[in-house]
Amino acid sequence: MKNVKPTISNELDTVDDLLLMINISKEEERDIVKKCIKDMSFVDIDISAVCFNEVIFENCKFNNCIFRRTDFIDVIFKFCDLSNSSFNDGYFNRCEITSCKGVGINLLNSNLQHVSLINNNFKYANFFADKLKNVSILESDLSNGNITECKLTNLELEDVKLIGTSFFKTPLEGIDLTRSQVDGIIVSGEELKGAIVSTSQAADLAKLLGLIVK
């Protein structure tokens, strides 16, 4: 699988006052386009119903912030802290999230297409009822997360910690789990039909389903 990478202009305007820009964007109902948002820190702010297009977020901190119904198109997050923030009902298309912290991040009922998550700490992340299409998750920690009632299409997992993660009511048919840690994942059983697992993983998963392996 090959994700379509973000297309971002080489000429981005640096943002000095993000909150002012967001207010203008909402008042004038226009997207935030071709911006570099760097070295900013926010707690408990509402950035809902905004569209970021061709934007780089670098070394930013958004803790416990609300991005509900916000669109991210051709966007890169790198070295950011998004912990406990809410991206519910969001839309991500051609995005990369690299070397970020997103402990307890919420992405309920969101749509992710051509998205790469690389080297991130997303423990306790909540992906409830999401649609993930052409998504790559690489070298990341999603332990104790919630990937429940999701629709997965062309999901790539490589060196991902999924320890204690719930996949309840999320079909895993065709998903290759062999290069990831799936100790203690939460499933009812039906979710595993057609999943690709290693021999050792199959033995461990069988125990989760109440089977006795000799």
| DSSP sequence for 131-152 | EEEEEEEES-B-TT-B--S-EE
Reported pTM: 0.94
Is there a domain that residue 72 lies in? yes
Q: What is the domain count for the chain?
A: 1
Beta bridge partners of 154: none
**Residue ranges in the chain whose pLDDT is less than 50:** none
Which residues constitute the domain of residue 104? 13-164
The answer as to whether 119 is a domain residue is yes
Domain-embedded: residue 186: no
Q: With b meaning 16 or more CB within 10 Å and e meaning fewer, what string describes 37-73?
A: bbebeeeebebbebbbbbbbbeebbbbebbbbbbbbb
Residue 174 lies in a domain: no
Looking at the domain assignment, is residue 4 inside a domain?
Answer: no
pLDDT score recorded for residue 2: 72
Q: Is residue 50 in some structural domain?
A: yes
Q: Which pLDDT belongs to residue 73? A: 98
Write the burial class of residue 155 (CB in 10 Å: 0-12 exposed, 13-18 middle, 19+ buried).
buried
- Asked if residue 184 is part of any domain, the answer here is no
pLDDT given at position 1: 60
- Model confidence pLDDT, tens digit, residues 146-172: 999 999 999 999 999 999 999 999 999
Q: Domain containing 110 — which CATH number?
A: 2.160.20.80
Q: Is residue 189 part of a domain?
A: no
